[in-house]
Amino acid sequence: MCQLFALTSHQPVSPDFSLRGFFQRGGKTGDHSDGWGLALFRDGQLELQTHISAAHSCRRATELLQTKPRATTVVAHIRKATVGDVSPQNSHPFTRTLWGETWAFAHNGDLKDFHPGTSVDYLPKGQTDSELAFCHIFSRLASTFETKPPVHVLAEFLYSLSAEISRHGTFNYLLSNGTLLIAHCSTELYWAHRSFPFGKVELLDLDMSIDLGEFNSEDESMFVVATKPLTRGEAWCPMGRGELRVFEGGRMVHVLPPTPVCNRQPIDWNSAWASHHVVIS
């Protein structure tokens, strides 16, 4: 199995803090050490890199994070190979062109007895069930929509098709063209909203904390998505089985099936503490 990470932001931001924690799971706090990949979208351009080394100890990962690369949309993946060799053509994110745009796709899960047809425009290059699912989805999208449909139509289509594919196994995935970020959950995927007032958060996988308020302005809004929460100090909302969420420019714009808004009302912590003689130390 693998793990997924994504970020979508109103303005370009560096995902290096979150990625530092995420990459620890690529060989240190997790055994997803068979490769890592990162798709960075900025100004409509995709920068993609994939490696077959363990993220946590990979020199290129370290160097990349030190440059604090800025992007409005990020899709990252750390791999634990189950289907397909450890090789570049089996590394996520996979990319394909559709409706004149480049899309990146990363998957967490295993699909069994899954042998769908794909069009000649979307043939897999590697051996993974993940790339095959991506090609199948894009074959179906291309044959159904000549041009990019409105977001809610795209979301409904992907929601139904993903439910079909999920019958073959675990199918958590991230898909993005740099503007839209689509997250589908079949078993496990979390999202967190980072917005004003930003607070201090700590990585769960590394002894490192950051005050997001120092780095973000009042009008910044971003969402992070991950297979498992990355931080303490902020709230993570689990997605349900079969749920699909669409984000656009740091906002959440569509949810299927309809779901209650994640209940994140403010807590009057001072009053909560003060009502007891023991305060937070």
Instruction: Name the residues that contact its own copies, by CB under 8 A.
Output: 150-152, 193-202, 204, 209, 221, 229, 231-241, 243, 246, 248, 251-256, 258-267, 269, 272-273, 275-278, 280-281
Q: Which among 2, 58, 135, 185 is annotated as catalytic? A: 2
* Cα pseudo-dihedral 162, 91, 94, 251, rounded to 10: 70
Q: Is 2 annotated in the active site? A: yes
Nearer to its own copies, 123 or 235 (CB): 235
Cα–Cα distance between 226 and 203 in angstroms, integer?
Answer: 13
Nearer to its own copies, 74 or 189 (CB): 189
Least distance in angstroms from the C-beta of 229 to its own copies: 4
Nearer to its own copies, 132 or 244 (CB): 244
Cα–Cα distance between 43 and 20 in angstroms, integer?
Answer: 24
Greatest distance between any 2 Cα atoms in the chain: 70
Least distance in angstroms from the C-beta of 135 to its own copies: 27
Q: What's at 55, amino acid-wise?
A: A
Helix (H) or strand (E) holding 101: strand 101-108
Point out which residues pair with 40 in neighbouring strands. Answer: 47, 74
Nearer to its own copies, 58 or 201 (CB): 201
Task: Assess contact for 245 and 252: CB atoms under 8 A.
Answer: yes
Q: Which residues are catalytic?
A: 2
